Amino acid sequence: MKPIKIDPVKSLRGDVVVPGDKSISHRALMLGAIAEGVTNIKNILDCDDCNYTAEALRSAGVSIEAGRGGAVVKGVGLFGLKKPEGAVNVGESGTSMRLLSGIFAGQRFDTVLIGKDALNRRPMNRIIEPLSLMGAAIDSAPGGYPPLAIKGSKLHSVSYRMQVPSAQVKSAILLAGLYADGTTVVEEGNITRDHTERALKHFGSDIEKDGLEIKIKGPGRLLAKDVEVPGDISSAAFLITCAVIIPGSSIRIKGVGMNPTRGGMLKVLSGMGAKIKLAGQKYGFEPSSDIIVESSRTKGIVIEKDILPSLIDELPAIFVVASLSEGTTVIKGAEELRVKETDRIVSMRENLSRMGACIKVDGSDIIIEGVRRLNGASLKSFGDHRTCMAMYIAALAAEGGSSIDDAGCVNKSFPRFFSEMEKILC
């Protein structure tokens, strides 16, 4: 995709819908594949990452028919997967590689998972260590990086205390726990996204959660269940923050997932003074709500490390709000941003600095001094979807025109981002 040009806008107005939640879409595909029966998934996210998950499962003998915003998965049961003919390519999807490793570790055949570009620079020792403790045999490139060669093994249960807060690592262990003898226990230090626990319970797994401790009994059995995927709050984050920073804006984002472990962004923005309301709440195994946002004068705050797991993907959008807020915003312990699709601390600091923002990095802390305005500039996506969307909304609020290179990277999570934004720009 060629570089795109962005001119500032007067305001945002109207109703908008964001695509289905990426995290839930991944899990619905995976659990539907190893369940018994047919799972119908509504509002599944059609994006690069989820499509790689679907193709990986198809390569293992699962029938997945996609179309009209949904997917039909014909489950083969826990041990019904077949050995793929070749290496399984998961693109740049860290969720696919980490969660599928938990599933493939317990199979009766060997699998090789390969990735592309940025994924090959993301650490996999985080899953290799706990899965190896369960009896898995996984070889990697030097340093614990992809590709991963997974030898199907008989797994046993473990009690594992998480070393870093990561929903992907936790999920890999729980999925492997489906294949293990006995009860697998995962103890978290901080609460992380619980989509896997909710989905496993929805599909009939024997799983219990008590505070920071999760227990799953194996070998398990999953039964097909229909899934309706709510809108992705990580995608909604960019529309929300755009409406907050551009004067005169008022938008309603319909049907956004309201999982409590994903609520950190709304809590932080509200603490900064953003005018955000919820309406039309729906309650299922994954709750949802409409989000109503109005432009607001915001102020800097201190964002503590313990809330970061609930908003890690939304931090690039918060960088932009902080840059235009009164006073100083401090984000503590944000080192996890360095191991995403790109080093997002570097990408966001470089881009926003070009626009006149004042951002400093002190160890793993980020310090942002608010400025009165941002200036148009030539910006870089760094091939990262969330950096790209964050800089697009910054450009809409800037004085003067801007451009962003390689904007096609938004296809990783929000393929309709630019067209949906066009609907509400004034």
Tell whether 145 and 283 lie within a shared domain. no
Question: Which residue, 228, 245, 268, sits at the end of a domain?
Answer: 228
Tell whether 199 and 234 lie within a shared domain. no
Give residue 1's pLDDT: 65
Q: Which CATH number goes with the domain that contains 150? A: 3.65.10.10
Tell whether 368 and 400 lie within a shared domain. yes
Q: Where are the alpha helices (DSSP H) in 35-161?
A: 48-59, 94-104, 125-133
Tell whether 54 and 116 lie within a shared domain. yes
Give residue 238's pLDDT: 97
Question: Which residue, 201, 228, 255, sits at the end of a domain?
Answer: 228
* Contact between residue 254 and residue 333 where contact means Cβ atoms under 8 Å apart: no
- For 269, the domain range is 4-20+230-424
The backbone torsions φ and ψ at residue 20, rounded to the nearest 5 degrees and listed phi first, read -60, 155
For residues 139 and 343, give the distance between their C-alpha atoms in angstroms, rounded to a whole number: 25
Tell whether 13 and 27 lie within a shared domain. no
Give residue 279's pLDDT: 97
Tell whether 174 and 252 lie within a shared domain. no
Tell whether 218 and 289 lie within a shared domain. no
**How do strand 137-141 and strand 145-151 relate by DSSP bridges?**
antiparallel
For residues 45 and 41, give the distance between their C-alpha atoms in angstroms, rounded to a whole number: 10
Tell whether 365 and 284 lie within a shared domain. yes
Q: What would the pLDDT profile of 147-199 be if each residue is shown by its tens digit?
A: 999 999 999 999 999 998 999 999 999 999 999 999 999 999 989 999 999 99
210: left (phi over 0), alpha (psi -120 to 50) or beta: beta
Question: Which residue, 203, 228, 253, sits at the end of a domain?
Answer: 228
Instruction: Give, for 170, the enclosing helix (H) or strand (E).
Output: helix 167-177
* Contact between residue 58 and residue 29 where contact means Cβ atoms under 8 Å apart: no
Tell whether 132 and 10 lie within a shared domain. no
- Domains held by the chain: number: 2
- The residue assigned the tokens 């570089």 is 3
Sheet containing 250-257, strands listed edge to edge, beginning at the edge strand earlier in sequence: 13-17, 250-257, 288-294, 275-282
Give residue 340's pLDDT: 75
For residues 298 and 293, give the distance between their C-alpha atoms in angstroms, rounded to a whole number: 13
Tell whether 123 and 109 lie within a shared domain. yes
Take residue 397 and report the two structure tokens written for it.
């609020």
Give residue 335's pLDDT: 81
Tell whether 74 and 174 lie within a shared domain. yes
**pTM score above 0.85:** yes
For residues 188 and 166, give the distance between their C-alpha atoms in angstroms, rounded to a whole number: 9
Asked if residue 247 has a cis previous peptide bond (ω within 30° of 0), the answer is: no
Q: What would the pLDDT profile of 44-93 be if each residue is shown by its tens digit?
A: 999 999 999 999 999 999 999 998 889 999 999 999 999 999 999 999 99
User: Residues with catalytic annotation?
Assistant: 313
Tell whether 191 and 132 lie within a shared domain. yes
CB under 8 Å to 174, separation ≥6 — which residues?
A: 102, 184, 186, 196, 197, 200, 207, 214, 216
Per-residue pLDDT of the chain (426 residues; tens, 9 = 90+): 678 999 999 999 999 999 999 999 999 999 999 999 999 999 999 999 999 999 999 999 999 999 888 999 999 999 999 999 999 999 999 999 999 999 999 999 999 999 998 899 888 999 999 999 999 999 999 999 999 999 999 999 999 999 989 999 999 999 999 999 999 999 999 899 999 999 999 999 999 999 999 999 999 899 999 999 999 999 999 999 999 999 999 999 999 999 999 999 999 999 999 999 999 999 889 999 999 999 999 999 999 999 998 888 999 999 999 999 999 999 998 888 786 768 898 999 999 999 999 999 998 899 999 999 999 999 999 999 999 999 999 999 999 999 999 899 999 899 999 999 999 998
A 10 A CB-CB count for 400 gives 13
